């Protein structure tokens, strides 16, 4: 029995609600240049920027019905279990780890027991959502944006147009920032229990490379933790030392590292003798997500899920979900080169482990010579090819954050729908908008809040 997406009975109603919102935006008192300018200033004052650029450049959030949320929640739950099975098997079977693309150092890090269950604590499932979500990527290693979403939603719900709109519709925010905090504390309690540690409230270090583009979000996370009585600091990997059985950052003992530093980026700069690894291997610090998250983060994890040789690993429901929702993805080395050249309109080329849209070539946006050159360049690297999935589109009142006086105007943009996953549960949704086929904030796209909408 194949996975069958439920009929979305609320789609027509949702379209009418969006039209109503845009109708209200035509009133300059509700959504004119002064409103845009105040919204931009509010984001700048709140630190809602990525690389110094205002994240949300739309006066409308993404709206999603509860029915669609339930569909996404069910997909997340089933796929989480499948990825968990894959992670567990890769830990026992080195040949599978190699097949997925883990290096020797990544396998060595994955072999270290993190001191709690689950390889991946915080992740994000990236999809285009038409009748059902079609999965393009699984960002299992330190996804960004959760605290941005909360801040954007709070500001947007104070817009005059939103205040007017809420008199006609019921809206609910999905608080991924709360899910993050609660998940980190849950991981700490599990770790502390196993280690016999009585400290109920950990000192948390948010760790990434110096100059990370998402550094503004670290401030938001730290403020949220501190406001709930949880000591927190922001540190770079260079700040960390390991002495006398304690990991420290700038003289403070660290109990839990919220690892925003991607495993691939860590290994590009450091070796296995780094203080973070030494403390982690000794069980002296809790690291979330663990270094094991790189297993599911690899693009080849998607091809492993889809591989018929592995189908017996998964429960029937998981097999149906994988077959129906995951875009066909293959190791480049396993696909006939002539077939790829002959049908470039159907395929995209992606590095096995990259982020921010780096290194992606879309066959349908390339001429024959460009596509051949990209395949040649990838031949000796670690790449996958993925089937073309038709994007979804939405109309939004967007503006130029550098020219707020120009006001907002309706534009049709590509929109994706990305589920934040906290140990197998849906904890929030990231919607991104772009006029480019590679939908990513690093590539000039924007991120906007997502709200559940219902009739009053």
Residues 245-263 have pLDDT tens digits of 999 998 999 999 999 999 9
The total number of residues written for the chain in this structure: 456
Residue with tokens 């959760």: 146
Query: Using CB atoms within 10 A of its CB, is residue 367 exposed (0-12), middle (13-18) or buried (19+)?
Result: exposed
Q: Give the H/E segment covering residue 361.
A: strand 361-362
Tokens found for residue 359: 């290194």
What is the arithmetic mean of pLDDT over 30-57? 93
Give me the chain's average pLDDT, please. 93
3-state secondary structure of 431: strand
Tokens found for residue 415: 């929109």
Please state, in angstroms and rounded to a whole number, the distance separating the CA atoms of residues 83 and 313: 11
Residue with tokens 């096995």: 352
**What is the torsional sign of CA 324, 329, 334, 338?**
positive
Please report which confidence band the pLDDT of residue 442 belongs to, taking 50, 70 and 90 as the band edges: low
Q: What does the pLDDT read at residue 109?
A: 98
User: Residues of the chain with pLDDT > 90: what percent?
Assistant: 85
Rounded to the nearest 10 degrees, the angle between the axes of helix 215-227 and helix 146-156 is 80
Could you read off the pLDDT of 92-134 as tens digits, one per residue? 999 999 999 999 999 999 999 999 999 999 999 999 998 899 9
Tokens found for residue 106: 């990544």
The separation between CA 439 and the C-alpha centre of its own chain, rounded to angstroms, equals 12
Q: What does the pLDDT read at residue 354?
A: 79
Q: How many CB atoms lie within 10 A of CB 26?
A: 12
Q: Under the phi-then-psi rule, with left for phi > 0, alpha for psi from -120 to 50, and beta for the rest, what region is 270?
A: beta
Please report which confidence band the pLDDT of residue 31 belongs to, taking 50, 70 and 90 as the band edges: very high
Q: What does the pLDDT read at residue 12?
A: 86
Please state, in angstroms and rounded to a whole number, the distance separating the CA atoms of residues 138 and 147: 19
Q: Taking the CA atoms of the chain, what radius of gyration do you get in angstroms?
A: 22
Whether 6 has a pLDDT exceeding 50, the answer reads no
Whether 142 has a pLDDT exceeding 90, the answer reads no
Whether 5 has a pLDDT exceeding 70, the answer reads no
Could you read off the pLDDT of 146-162 as tens digits, one per residue? 888 889 999 999 999 99
Q: In DSSP terms, which residues pair with 397 in a beta bridge?
A: 410
Could you read off the pLDDT of 304-353 as tens digits, one per residue? 999 999 999 999 999 999 999 999 999 999 999 999 999 999 999 999 99
Whether 436 has a pLDDT exceeding 80, the answer reads no
Query: Which stretches within 104-175 are classed as H helix?
Result: 104-110, 146-156, 160-165
Q: In DSSP terms, which residues pair with 362 in a beta bridge?
A: 348
Pairing of strands 417-422, 409-415: unpaired
- Side-chain half-sphere CA neighbours of 389 within 13 A: 29
Whether 9 has a pLDDT exceeding 70, the answer reads no
User: Residues of the chain with pLDDT > 70: what percent?
Assistant: 97
Please state, in angstroms and rounded to a whole number, the distance separating the CA atoms of residues 63 and 22: 13
Please report which confidence band the pLDDT of residue 216 belongs to, taking 50, 70 and 90 as the band edges: confident
Q: Which residues contact 413 (CB under 8 A, 6 or more apart)?
A: 393, 394, 395, 396, 398, 433, 434, 435
Can you count the helices (H) and strands (E) in the chain? 17, 23
């Amino acid at each position: 029995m194949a996975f069958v997406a439920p009929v979305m009975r609320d789609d027509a109603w949702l379209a009418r609600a969006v039209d109503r919102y845009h109708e209200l935006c035509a009133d300059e008192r509700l959504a004119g240049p002064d409103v845009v300018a105040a919204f931009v200033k509010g984001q700048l004052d709140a630190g809602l920027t990525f690389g110094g650029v205002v994240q949300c450049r739309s006066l409308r959030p993404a709206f999603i019905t509860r029915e669609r949320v339930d569909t996404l929640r069910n997909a997340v739950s089933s796929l989480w279990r499948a990825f968990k099975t894959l992670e567990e098997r890769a830990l026992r079977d080195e040949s599978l780890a190699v097949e997925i693309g883990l290096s020797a150092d990544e396998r060595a890090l994955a072999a270290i027991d993190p001191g709690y269950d689950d390889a991946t604590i915080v992740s994000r499932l990236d999809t285009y959502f038409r009748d059902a979500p079609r999965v393009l990527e699984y960002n299992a290693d330190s996804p960004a944006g959760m605290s941005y979403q909360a801040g954007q939603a709070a500001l947007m719900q104070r817009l005059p147009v939103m205040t007017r709109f809420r008199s006609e519709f019921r809206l609910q925010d999905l608080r991924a920032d709360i899910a993050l905090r609660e998940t980190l504390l849950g991981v700490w309690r599990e770790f502390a229990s196993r280690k016999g540690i009585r400290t109920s409230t950990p000192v948390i270090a948010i760790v990434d490379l110096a100059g990370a583009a998402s550094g503004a979000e670290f401030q938001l996370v730290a403020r949220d933790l501190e406001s709930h009585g949880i000591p927190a600091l922001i540190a770079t990997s260079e700040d960390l030392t390991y002495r006398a059985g304690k990991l420290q950052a700038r003289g403070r003992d660290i109990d839990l590292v919220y690892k925003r530093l991607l495993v691939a980026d860590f290994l590009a700069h450091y070796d296995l003798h780094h203080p973070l690894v030494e403390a982690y291997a000794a069980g002296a610090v809790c690291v979330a997500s663990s270094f094991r998250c790189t297993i599911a983060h690899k693009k080849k994890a998607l091809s492993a899920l889809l591989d018929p040789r592995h189908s017996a690993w998964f429960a029937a429901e998981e097999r149906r979900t994988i077959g129906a929702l995951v875009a066909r993805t293959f190791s480049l080395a396993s696909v006939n080169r002539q077939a790829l050249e002959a049908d470039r309109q159907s395929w995209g080329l992606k590095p096995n482990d990259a982020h921010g849209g780096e290194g992606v070539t879309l066959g349908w946006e390339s001429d024959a010579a460009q596509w051949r050159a990209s395949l040649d360049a990838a031949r000796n690297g670690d790449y996958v090819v993925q089937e073309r999935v038709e994007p979804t589109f939405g109309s939004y009142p967007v503006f130029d954050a550098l020219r707020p006086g120009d006001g907002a105007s309706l534009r049709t943009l590509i929109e994706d729908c990305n589920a934040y996953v906290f140990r197998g549960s849906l904890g929030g949704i990231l919607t991104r908008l772009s006029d480019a086929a590679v939908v990513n904030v690093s590539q000039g796209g924007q991120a906007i809040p997502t709200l559940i909408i219902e009739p009053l």
